[in-house]
Structure 1
Amino acid sequence: MGFTPGTLVNLPIASVSWGNGSLSLVADLLSSLGARRTALFTTAAQAADRSLMDSVMTAAPTIVLTHSTFNAHVPAADVASAADVLLDNEIDSVVSVGGGSVIDAAKAALGHTIDAGRTRPRHVVVPTTLSGSELSHTFGVTETHGTSTFKRSHARLDVTADAIVYDERVVESTPGDLWLSSGVKAVDHAIEGLLGTEALPLVDSLAFSGIRRMVESLSAETSHRGAAQIAAWECYSHPQAMSYGLSHRLGHILGGTFGVPHSVTSAITLPAVLARMTPARPRTLAAIAQALDVSQPTPTRRTGARSQPDSASVLVREWCAELGLPTRLRDVDFAQADLDELGEMTASAYPSESAVLGTDARCRLRDLVRSMW
Structure 2
Amino acid sequence: MHRGRVVFGAMDEVVFGQPAAAAIVAQMDRLEAARAFLMVSGTLNRQTDEIEKIRAALGSHCVATFDAMPQHTPREAVIAATEQARAANADLIVTVGGGSITDGAKAVQLCLANDVRSVETIDSIRAVKGSAPAMRPPSVRQISVPTTIAGGEFSAIAGVTNQRSKVKEALRHDLAMPRAVILDAALTMHTPEWLFLSTGIRAVDHCVEGICSREAHPYADAQALHGLAMLAGGLPRVKADPRDLDARMDCMIGTWLSTGPLTAGVPMGASHGIGYVLGAGYGVPHGYTSCVMLPAVMRWNRPDNGDRQALVAVAMGQPGADAADVLDRFIRDLGMPRSLREVNVDAEHFDAIAQQAMATPWVPRNPRRIDGPNAVREILLLAA
Q: TM-score, normalised by structure 2?
A: 0.87
What is the alpha-carbon distance in structure 2 between the residues aligned to residue 289 and residue 118 of structure 1? 42
Aligned to 1:17: 15
Aligned to 2:108: 109
Q: Secondary structure at the match of 1:111?
A: helix
Instruction: Return closer, same or farther for 1:328/1:31 CA change in 2, 3 Å cut-off.
Output: same
* Sequence identity percentage: 26
Aligned to 1:4: 2
Correspondent of 2:369 among 331, 348, 358: 358
What is the alpha-carbon distance in structure 2 between the residues aligned to residue 60 and residue 200 of structure 1? 42
Aligned to 1:304: none
Letter in 2 for 1:161: P
What is the alpha-carbon distance in structure 2 between the residues aligned to residue 359 and residue 200 of structure 1? 22
1:172-321 → structure 2 map (5 Å cutoff): 172-196=189-213, 198-221=215-238, 222=242, 223=244, 224-237=247-260, 239-241=262-264, 242-292=266-316, 294-296=317-319, 307=320, 311-321=322-332
Q: CA deviation at 1:318?
A: 0.7
Letter in 1 for 2:41: T
Instruction: Return closer, same or farther for 1:113/1:281 CA change in 2, 3 Å cut-off.
Output: same
Q: Secondary structure at the match of 1:169?
A: helix
What is the alpha-carbon distance in structure 1 between the residues aligned to residue 147 and residue 93 of structure 2? 16
Correspondent of 1:167 among 184, 187, 203: 184
Q: Secondary structure at the match of 2:101?
A: helix
Q: CA deviation at 1:81?
A: 1.1
User: In 2, are the aligned partners of 1:151 and 1:252 still within 8 Å (CA)?
Assistant: yes
Instruction: Return closer, same or farther for 1:59/1:274 CA change in 2, 3 Å cut-off.
Output: farther
Q: CA deviation at 1:100?
A: 0.6
User: In 1, are the aligned partners of 2:364 and 2:370 still within 8 Å (CA)?
Assistant: no
Instruction: Return closer, same or farther for 1:240/1:89 CA change in 2, 3 Å cut-off.
Output: same
Instruction: Return closer, same or farther for 1:118/1:186 CA change in 2, 3 Å cut-off.
Output: closer
Q: Secondary structure at the match of 2:166?
A: strand
What is the alpha-carbon distance in structure 1 between the residues aligned to residue 251 and residue 383 of structure 2? 27
What is the alpha-carbon distance in structure 1 between the residues aligned to residue 197 and residue 366 of structure 2? 30
Q: CA deviation at 1:174?
A: 1.0
State the Cα deviation string for residues 188-211 of structure 1 (Å, max 9, x = none).
Answer: 111122233534223211111111
CA RMSD of aligned residues (A): 2.0
User: In 2, are the aligned partners of 1:219 and 1:323 still within 8 Å (CA)?
Assistant: yes
Instruction: Return closer, same or farther for 1:55/1:359 CA change in 2, 3 Å cut-off.
Output: closer
Aligned to 1:299: none
Q: TM-score, normalised by structure 1?
A: 0.90
What is the alpha-carbon distance in structure 1 between the residues aligned to residue 137 and residue 310 of structure 2? 49
Letter in 1 for 2:381: R
What is the alpha-carbon distance in structure 1 between the residues aligned to residue 355 and residue 250 of structure 2? 39
What is the alpha-carbon distance in structure 1 between the residues aligned to residue 168 and residue 55 of structure 2? 33
What is the alpha-carbon distance in structure 1 between the residues aligned to residue 261 and residue 300 of structure 2? 26
What is the alpha-carbon distance in structure 2 between the residues aligned to residue 18 and residue 359 of structure 1? 40
Aligned to 2:98: 99
Q: CA deviation at 1:7?
A: 3.9
Aligned to 1:136: 155
User: In 1, are the aligned partners of 2:273 and 2:362 still within 8 Å (CA)?
Assistant: no
What is the alpha-carbon distance in structure 2 between the residues aligned to residue 129 and residue 179 of structure 1? 5
State the Cα deviation string for residues 74-132 of structure 1 (Å, max 9, x = none).
Answer: 11111111111222221101110011100001101111112126962131100001010
1:66-105 → structure 2 map (5 Å cutoff): 66-105=65-104
User: In 2, are the aligned partners of 1:346 and 1:354 still within 8 Å (CA)?
Assistant: no
User: In 2, are the aligned partners of 1:15 and 1:163 still within 8 Å (CA)?
Assistant: yes
User: In 2, are the aligned partners of 1:251 and 1:269 still within 8 Å (CA)?
Assistant: yes
Aligned to 2:39: 41
What is the alpha-carbon distance in structure 2 between the residues aligned to residue 343 and residue 177 of structure 1? 27
Correspondent of 1:154 among 171, 183, 187: 171
What is the alpha-carbon distance in structure 2 between the residues aligned to residue 66 and residue 76 of structure 1? 18
Aligned to 2:118: none
Q: CA deviation at 1:291?
A: 1.1
Instruction: Return closer, same or farther for 1:198/1:364 CA change in 2, 3 Å cut-off.
Output: closer
What is the alpha-carbon distance in structure 2 between the residues aligned to residue 43 and residue 80 of structure 1? 17
State the Cα deviation string for residues 149-206 of structure 1 (Å, max 9, x = none).
Answer: 1111232112110111001111111111100000000011111222335342232111
What is the alpha-carbon distance in structure 1 between the residues aligned to residue 311 and residue 20 of structure 2? 34
Letter in 2 for 1:278: R
Q: Secondary structure at the match of 1:257?
A: helix
Q: CA deviation at 1:214?
A: 0.4
Residue 52 (1) aligns with residue 44 (2): no
Letter in 1 for 2:26: D
Give ranges in structure 1 of 5+ residues lacking alignment.
297-306
